[in-house]
Structure 1
Amino acid sequence: MSNRVHVSTGSPWEPVVGYSRAIRVGNVVEVAGTTAMKDGKVIAVGNAYEQTKYIIQSIEQVLEQVLEQVGATLSDVVRTRMFVTDISAWEDIGRAHGEYFNTIRPVATMVEVKALIEPDLLVEIEVQAIVDQDRLRG
């Protein structure tokens, strides 16, 4: 097995739940489900478009952190999975997703779920990236 690199953002929940914010095995990077929360508060309550933008920006920051350790960027994303609490908001969520991924064009899945961890969260996104071997560090 290739070296396994764990990336933490220092969330108090990472050790309690037993997860990493991101992990790299070989040239594959997986980023855990990401929501629109900052300092324990939901961002853009009631606005799926703004929550989606915030989430993708957060994922981009995590990938930049991974970049420092292993060499990943948002352009390396090959799959997104979007979990939404109201599928009727798909156009707003899709529009925000397209603003970041319109030229990258990863495969994408959007499914409706009953609820997320906080009632005001409308979207959770996880991504998978594959880093070019020439840029891979660590």
Structure 2
Amino acid sequence: MAKKIINSQSAPAPIGPYSQAVKAGNTLYISGQIALIPETGAMDNKTIQEETHRVMKNLGEILKTAGLNYSNVVKTTIFVKDLNNFVAVNQVYGEYFSSEPPARETVEVSRLPKDANVEISCIAVTE
């Protein structure tokens, strides 16, 4: 099975040796996204809500480049630096998955790249 690298100019460039996303067959694997503003590389993290919206927008841009959208997402992983932010992150996340939300797990971690408070990765499939 061939793999195809997906790169969106509307999402932040990778900050390490990884691809934004890789498509293998009918499955798209999107690397963890943090709240980087694509045009500037600055963090959009005034509040946990703004930070989570930016993360979801970055994921959305990668999905769009691959010809998909949030409804194609079957699995997400949410990493948070402080599980006390779970309710706020969950509220924003839910705005993007209002029906038939994907499977997921949420885990607290001690640190994230660029001192982000939230990072989300996902797996999507074509219909």
Matched residue of 1:37: which SS?
coil
Q: Is the 8 A contact 2:14 2:20 kept in 1?
A: no
1:35 and 2:34 aligned:
yes
Q: Is the 8 A contact 1:33 1:125 kept in 2?
A: yes
Deviation at 1:79, TM superposition (A): 0.6
In structure 2, C-alpha distance between the alignment counterparts of 1:126 and 1:12, rounded to whole Å: 13
Q: Is the 8 A contact 1:4 1:25 kept in 2?
A: yes
Determine which of 80, 87, 93 is the counterpart of 1:84: 80
In structure 1, C-alpha distance between the alignment counterparts of 2:111 and 2:14, rounded to whole Å: 22
Matched residue of 1:42: which SS?
coil
How many pairs were matched up?
A: 122
| Equivalent AA in structure 1 for residue 112 of structure 2 | L
| Structure 1: 4+ residue segments shifted above 3 A | none
Note the aligned Cα RMSD (angstroms): 1.4
Give the unaligned 5+ runs of structure 2: none
Determine which of 86, 98, 113 is the counterpart of 1:102: 98
Equivalent residue runs for 1:65-80 within 5 Å: 65-67=65-67, 72-80=68-76
Give the unaligned 5+ runs of structure 1: 133-138
Deviation at 1:12, TM superposition (A): 6.3
Q: Is the 8 A contact 1:77 1:104 kept in 2?
A: no
Matched residue of 2:101: which SS?
coil
Matched residue of 1:114: which SS?
coil
Tell me the residue number matched to 1:136: none
| Equivalent AA in structure 2 for residue 28 of structure 1 | T
Q: Which is higher, the Rg of structure 1 or of structure 2? A: 1
Equivalent residue runs for 1:1-138 within 5 Å: 1=1, 3-9=2-8, 11=13, 13=15, 17-38=16-37, 39-45=40-46, 47-67=47-67, 72-119=68-115, 121-132=116-127
In structure 2, C-alpha distance between the alignment counterparts of 1:9 and 1:99, rounded to whole Å: 22
**TM-score when normalising by structure 1:** 0.82
**TM-score when normalising by structure 2:** 0.89
